[in-house]
Amino acid sequence: MDFGNIDRNPIAYLRYGNYCGLGSRGTIPVDETDICCMNHDNCYQNTNCKGLYEGKFNFYSWKFQNNEIICKPSADPCDQANCECDKAFVLCLKKAPYNCKNALRPSNLFC
């Protein structure tokens, strides 16, 4: 997914809050942005598909049309499910404020 559709460099989210980036560092999200990351993690888990943590990448097709992200149909249900998770994540991040105090180094370089 093109995370360029959000207003901040995607690297800024690698170590943000308790849920953004690889691996969780807490049990309670610190803000709306962190909730987006928690929901994204949960979405992947709910697909019951192998993913990055199990060594499998899912490649899916999508397009940006009329200001909307559209996941293209796929024969692989995991590709489709992961695309929908990533789409929801991008849309959530667009609405959620980014609070620099919740960014851990080096992500705070983007504040």
Strand ranges, E, within the chain: 62-65, 68-71
In 3D space, the residue among 108, 99, 96 whose CA is nearest the CA of residue 37 turns out to be: 96
Amino acid letter at 74?
S
Q: Is 86 a catalytic residue?
A: yes
Is the predicted pLDDT of residue 88 greater than 90, yes or no?
Answer: yes
Binding-site residue ranges for Ca(2+): 19, 21, 23, 41
Distance spanning both ends of the chain, measured CA to CA: 23
Using CA atoms, how far apart are residues 62 and 66, in angstroms rounded to an integer? Answer: 13
> Which residue in the block uniquely carries the two structure tokens 């149909």?
73
Q: Where are the domains of the chain?
A: 3-110
Q: Is 7 a catalytic residue?
A: no
Domain 3-110: give its CATH code.
1.20.90.10
What are the pLDDT digits (tens) for 7-61?
A: 788 888 888 999 998 877 778 999 999 999 999 999 988 988 866 555 456 688 9
